[in-house]
Structure formats: structure tokens, C-alpha cells
Structure 1
Amino acid sequence: MEEGFPFNLTFSDVFFSLLSLIFFLVDVVLDLWAIQCLYEEQKYFSMGLLIFLLLSSSVLLQIFSWLWYSKSSITLETKVERFISRHGLLAPVHICQLGVFLRFAAVMEISICRFKQSDRFQKVVTIYMNHDLSMLRLFEAFSESAPQIVLMMVLIIEMQEMQSFTVIKIIGSLSALSFTVLSYHRSMRAFVPEKLKMRWSSSIIYFLWNLFLIGPRVVCVSLFASVLPCYITAHFLSLWMLLVLWAWWQKTDFMDTKAGEWLYRATVGLIWYFTWFNVTSGNKKLKGIIYHMVMGVDTMLLLGLWWWRRSVESACLSPLPINPYLLIVMLMIIYIIGLALKLVYYWKFHPSKTVLEMNVKDEKSQMKSESDPESYDILGATLSNTPGPKPAAQPEPEGTVLAPTEKIVTGIHKRIRNMAVNFYS
């Protein structure tokens, strides 16, 4: 394992990991409760759809977790992971849909060791594990939680009176969704040097603009699905395929295999259906503007079709607890506020790549004396798109092993490098 990175790990980061585990367990319990309630209400189609969402999302996470374990260039550093691997249980654990729980257990173990021993090595390992876990939770949020919210909102709209389990499930799913996006944000902030500590105001703004942009999108999709349920699948598949092709056109480079990369692109397309997620370096502003323009038009189209359908067949549809015109105005205002908060965040709180590179150089020069001179500085490679000046190559004797900096970056090194470049570019 490499040392000498200017990573910043605080107690709040470990607290967020623990809180994320609690949210995950609560969400599992609410999932089971929702299935039971749908069964008792004899809503078998909705129950089957919910089970399909849960299983497909779980299988997706297990595939990513297994690929990362099998392809990662990092040796397993925790006792629980070494025990599972030594007894050949990695595959059975993932087949039984327990891979995410294994990663949670590993993060908790290494976090406790980190604070007991206060070792830089433990600190770096914790950052690695938190990064992968935050990515998996992000995938789960938009492959399970967001579609579940749509399903539950459709059920509420169709019901004459609100049921307790649907309201609680929606609140729980929204909390888990918003908190997961914030957790990913904080995991990326581990790349920020100690000098640029993250303030809670930054987290609050980031949480709010995601909530105000994702919320109207989910509500509009739910409204459309409530009046035109036969067309929502066609709408999702057509838009999702275009988004996957856009991810391919951007030449994403996240996984170590072509099949894994296409799976990642498919997952990115699913995330893009609900919110923006930067996957490549380059002109992030232009891509963000294109995305928000396209999704804004699509959202207004869904909202317009819903309003038209209700105006044509208002007698056949369940009455809404709120005036449709007021609802449309509220959604538009919330979305505009979300865009404004996003601009404020990137204007005031998001660290610029230039500032980070300057601080990284200072941190690297300070830490060189403490670390192995031949250790691989992943952060330096991460925050710089172009390598620094290199000495002229000298002929090496036959059989000489390449230095770590000359190796092809794969596994978690590649994932961390690429995600940091994308996040701060």
C-alpha cells in the first residue's frame, strides 16, 4: 500500500460512514416493510415491481464490488476481508448479496484501528475503502432509492387517502438518497489538503442543491407515471440509451475491463436520468449546461403531458391534494432555487484544481522526508492531467523491475485518480 498522500481524514468522515451504515440498514428494514404492506393491500404488481428494483440494484452492487475485489491491485488490509478471502468466500458472499455488508465491516474495522494507532498507513487505507463504499452507495441510491420514490409517489397519487408505510418509505428514501450524494461529496473532499478544510456550510449547500434538483425531477417522473403508466418504461429506456451513448462518447475510463466499463456507463446513464454526475475531465461547465438544458426540456415535457392528461380525463383520475397549477409553479421555483444554489456552491465552496495543485505540491515536498522515496503518489497523479517533467530515460539492465510510478495504474488507484480528476476539473 502506498503512503505519503496528503489525504485529510477526520472523525466526521468516520461518523458519516457509520451514519451511512445506519441509513443502509434502516432502508433495508423499510424495504421489507413496504413489501409486506403491499402484499397485505393485494397490490401484487407494485410488490413485484418493488422486489425487481431491490434485486436488480443489489445484483448491480455485488457485480461492481466483486469486480473491484478481483481486479484491484491493493492487497486486502483488514482482518475480515483477509478471513473471507483466505477461506475462498469472496464469491459466495457476493452471490448471497452480502458484498456491501463486507465492505461496511472492513471500513468500520480499519476506522477503529486508525483512531487507535493514529497511523498514516491506516489513514490511507480508510480513504480507499470509504471511496469504494461511497461509490457503491451512490449507485444504489439511483438504481434503487430513486425508482422506489417514484413508485411510492405513484401509489400515493392513486390512493384516496395516504397510507403510513408509503409516506415513511418516501421520507426514508429521500433522506438516504440525499445523504448518499452528500457522503460521496465528502469522500471526494478527502483529496483536499489540510489547509483547505471543508466547512459545514459547504455540505449544507451541496445537500440542498442536490435535493432541490433531484426532488422536482423525481416528482415530475412520478406524476407522468401516474397518468401514463404504459409510457414511462418507453420514456426511461429511450432516454437512458441516449445517456449511455453520451457516456460512451465522452470516453469514460473507470473500470479495468471493457465489459466493466460498459456496465459503468449503463449505471452512469441511470444516474443521469435523475441528476448530473461528472464522469470525465474537460469542459465540465459546457457539459453541465447541455445536460441541464436537455433534462429541463424533458422534465417540462413530462409535466406538460401530465397536466394535459389530467385536464382531459380529470373525472377518471384520483383528485390531487394540491392544486395542479400551484404544484407546477412550486416545482419550477424549487428547480430554479436548486440551480442557483449549485452556482453558489461552485462559486464559493468548490476548490479549484489550480489551488489544489499548489497545495498538493507543498504537501508532497513536506511529506517526502516521511515516506518511502519510491512510493507512488496517487494524489499527485490525480490532480494533474499532464505529468510533470521527467528525467531522460536511462537504459535498464535486463530483468530490472519498473519503479511503481512507471506501472500502469489499475484497480482502486485508477478509480480514485479518475474520480478526483472528474470531480475537481
Structure 2
Amino acid sequence: MMKFTKQNFIFLVGGIIIYVVDIGVDFWVASRYFCQGQYCWGILLLCFRGLSSLITQVFSYEWFKNDWEGTNTGKLKWIFLVHLFQCGIFIRYWFALKYGCQAAFKQKSSRDASETDPPNFIQKQAVDAVTDINMLRVFKTFLETTPQLFVQIYILMEHEKNNFCQYAAIISSFCGISFSMVDYQISLRKSLPDKDEFRVLPKLVYLLYKLLTITSWILSISLITLLSVRSSVILLLFLWICGFTWTLKQHTTFCKSRKMEYLYRTVVGIILIFTFFNIKGKKTKVCISIYYATHTVVTLGILFVYMFWKTSIIKEIHFTIVSILTILSLVLGIIFLVVYYRHFHPTAYCRPQACSDEVDGEAGQKDRVKIGRFQNFIMQ
């Protein structure tokens, strides 16, 4: 049975603190750019935050509406008003703290308790509440935090003068990505049936795999942006079209409404620009190999192009450092990827007696009710 422990509650409280600090850092960094007369950078950072907040609020309200279908409409109107003012995530944190406190400190469940027993029910409520938050944080990571990291690294590479504000934004972005990735994988293990506990070593390997491959790719995109902003925009747009098209071909069924499903596929297309995610729970050895092989070829191509233009755009010493970091993080990231998938990845997405390779498959209808939204979410 899924368990919500005291350690999970402590991490939940830490997540709230990090979320609030991240908001403060974003507005502080943007205000610094405005004070320095760099209005474009300040507006761009705020646009990333605004877009991320808008999309996460839309999904959060839609999930509340689905969960509370047929209940008091007055409560839903109040929830809508809170989301309209971009504060829906705090409502979700309140529910998570409420259920999490009951599950971790006040409930005592027996080993042979059934799913309908109050202790088990509270445990499930706590896990589901935190899972929803972590799904929203995945959206936030790739709609806001990762693009902000790209912008900050680009600014550092473009300008000679560096300041504490830029380093604070980069550190904040790295922390946001790290916590989001680990929390997401923990929720995946808790929400899917018959999964091993996500221990310290698998967490570290998964974190390094994601963080290093994303860092390498962001450095590569930053380099091509220095060479030509237009080329960078065209490349990112092309990658999004590829990711969105692949998502369409997978026939995802995450949302109940057609409009929300297309919004979900659009967001997943953006996520696929930066990292690979398995959106259907199928075996993806071929897909992930093609994905990172393509990233490797593009990265090496960008570095090769820079060998001819580096003297006029970026200092040789800077190019040498960036190219070494790019290649090193890519190689190490792929090594950790192989180690994770070979030794720590939860390869089965269903119970043995109801084996179906697809997450949406007919086998496992009984588990689908227990698992909830994560059953049709990005599964990696």
C-alpha cells in the first residue's frame, strides 16, 4: 500500500518554502534587470513566469473540477476565483499539508487493512495530493525554470560583466529542476502499483542523468543563440513541432476534455525540447536512443560550427570552457542514463497478473481507479 511518511511531510514543507523563495528570486532578478535598463531580459523572465503560472492554474482548476464532479458548485466557484488570482497551487499545498499531517503523524494503519479503511484512505489522499503538486511542478520546471536557466546562461556568455543577481537566478533554476525531477520520480514510484521504493542511490543517478543532459543541451542552445537568435528560435520551434507531432501519434488520454488534451500535448511538446519523457508507459528503448542520439549530433554540430566563428563572437578561453562543460555533461549524463535504465528503472507499468505494456490498456482497470491521474501522465 502507498505510504506517506514523516520524511515525505518534511519534504513537502521544504517544497513550499522553495516555491515561495523561487517566486521572490524571480521578481528580484527581474527588478534588477529593470533597474539596470535591461528591460528585455526582465520582461522575458516575467513572461516565462506568467505563462507557467497561467498553464499550471488551468490544469490545477481542471483537476479540481474533475475530482469534485457532482459536488457543491459553490465550493468550485471559490476554487475558480483562487485560481483566477494565480494562487491555486497554495490551495493544493494546503490540502497536501492537511492530509499529509494526518497520514504521517495521526494515523495508524494495520498491515491487513483494506483500501476502504480510514487510515489507508487518508494515506491515499495524502499521496494523491502531493502527486498532483509534483505533476504541476513538472510543468513549471519546463515552462519556466528551464527556459530561465537558458536565458541566464546566455546572458552570462554574452556579457563580460557578471553579478550576484545572475548567479542567484542560475542557482535557483538548478535547485528548482533538481527538486522537481526527484519529487516527480518519488511520486511516480508511490502512485504506480508494485514499484520498489525509490532509494537514495537511484534518486542520485536519476537526478544526475536529468540534470547533466539538460545542462548540456541548454549550453548548446545558448551557443547557437549567440551565433544567431533566429537560428535558435527556428531550432527550438522545429523541436517542439517534432515533440508535439510524436505526442499526437501516441494518442494520449490524460485529460477528459479535448481542448485540455491538446493543451497537455502542447506542454509535453515543450518538455520534449529539453528532456525525454515516456508519455504512454510503453517500452521506449528505441525512442530514447533516437532522442539522445539526435541531441548528441546537434550538440557536436553546434560546437563544430563554432570552431569557425568563435574568434568574432566569443573569446577562445570562454569557448573552450563552455565546450568542455557541454561535452562532459553530455557524456556523463548519458552514462547515468544507461546506469539508471539498466539497474534502477521501474520497467513494469502494471501488475504481473494483469500485464499490459500500455498504461492505458484494458488490463489493469482495477488499478486505474486506485492510481488516479498519474496512470495517464508522463511516466518515465
Q: Give me the TM-score of the superposition, normalised by structure 1.
A: 0.79
Structure having the higher Rg: 1
Name the one with the larger helix percent.
2
DSSP 3-state at the match of 2:274: coil
Number of the residue aligned with 2:243: 243
Query: 1:73–1:303: structure 2 CA closer, same or farther, 3 Å change rule?
Result: farther
Please show how residues 281-292 of structure 1 align to structure 2 within 5 Å: 281-292=281-292
5 Å matches for 1:63-82? 63-72=58-67
**Counterpart of 1:368?**
none
Q: CA deviation at 1:325?
A: 3.5
2:101 corresponds to 1:105: no
Q: Which amino acid aligns with 1:47?
A: G
> What is the identity, as a one-letter code, of the residue corresponding to 1:294?
T
- State percent identity of aligned pairs: 23
Distance in 1 between residues matched to 2:4 and 2:140, nearest whole Å:
24
2:363 is matched with which residue: 362, 376, 387?
387
Write out aligned runs for 1:212-291 (5 A).
212-291=212-291
The change in CA–CA distance for 1:405 and 1:159 in structure 2 (over 3 A counts) is: closer
What do the CA deviations read for 1:370-414 (whole angstroms, capped 9, x no partner)?
Answer: xxxxxxxxx9999794527xxxxxxxxxxxxxxx969xx79x965
Please report how far the alpha carbon of residue 295 of structure 1 lies from its aligned counterpart in structure 2 after TM superposition. 2.4
Measure the CA separation in 2 of the matches of 1:133 and 1:87: 18
How far did residue 328 of structure 1 move? 1.9
Distance 1:144-1:111 versus aligned 2 partners, 3 A rule? same
User: Any residues of structure 2 matched to 1:170-181 within 5 Å, and which?
Assistant: 170-181=170-181
**Does residue 120 of structure 2 align to residue 120 of structure 1?**
yes
Q: CA deviation at 1:107?
A: 0.8
- Aligned 8 A contact 1:7 1:190 in 2: yes
Instruction: Name the CA shift for 1:52/1:383 in 2 (closer, same or farther; >3 Å).
Output: closer
- Please list every run of 5 or more consecutive structure 1 residues that lacks an aligned counterpart in the other structure: 1-5, 77-81, 362-378, 389-403
Q: Give the structure 2 partner of residue 60 of structure 1.
A: 55
Matched position secondary structure for 1:246: helix
Distance in 2, Cα, partners of 1:234 & 1:380: 39
Give SS of 2:4's match: coil
Q: Is the 8 A contact 1:110 1:122 kept in 2?
A: yes
Comparing 136-145 and 285-294, the one that deviates more: 285-294
Equivalent residue number for residue 376 of structure 2 = 418
The answer to whether the 8 A contact 2:56-2:136 is kept is: yes
**CA–CA distance in structure 2, aligned partners of residues 235 and 191 of structure 1:** 36
Cα distance change of structure 1 residues 340 and 104 upon mapping to structure 2, 3 Å threshold: same
Deviation at 1:301, TM superposition (A): 3.3
Q: Where in structure 2 are the equivalents of 1:7-26 lying within 5 Å?
A: 7-26=2-21
Instruction: State the distance in 2 between where 1:280 and 1:193 align.
Output: 16
* 1:57 to 1:303, Cα distance in 2 relative to 1, 3 A: farther
Relative distance call for 1:229 and 1:352 in structure 2 (3 A) is closer
Match of 2:351 among 344, 354, 357: 357
RMSD over aligned Cα, in angstroms?
3.0
Which residue pairs with 1:371 in the alignment? none
Q: Distance in 1 between matches of 2:294 and 2:207?
A: 23
Structure 2 CA distance for aligned equivalents of residues 326 and 131 of structure 1? 39
Q: SS at 1:186's partner residue?
A: helix
Residue 109 of structure 1 aligns with an amino acid whose one-letter code is K
Give the whole-Å Cα distance in 2 for the aligned partners of 1:200 and 1:338. Answer: 18
The residue number in structure 1 matching 2:75 is: 86
| Structure 2 spans left out of the alignment, 5+ residues | 108-118
Contact 1:38 1:44 in 2 (8 A): yes
Q: Secondary structure at the match of 1:270?
A: helix
Do the aligned partners of residues 416 and 87 (structure 1) sit closer, same or farther apart at CA in structure 2, a change above 3 Å counting? Answer: closer
Q: Which residue of 2 aligns with 1:144?
A: 144
What is the rounded CA distance, in whole Å, between the counterparts of 2:192 and 2:104 in structure 1?
20
Q: 1: CA distance between counterparts of 2:195 and 2:315?
A: 55
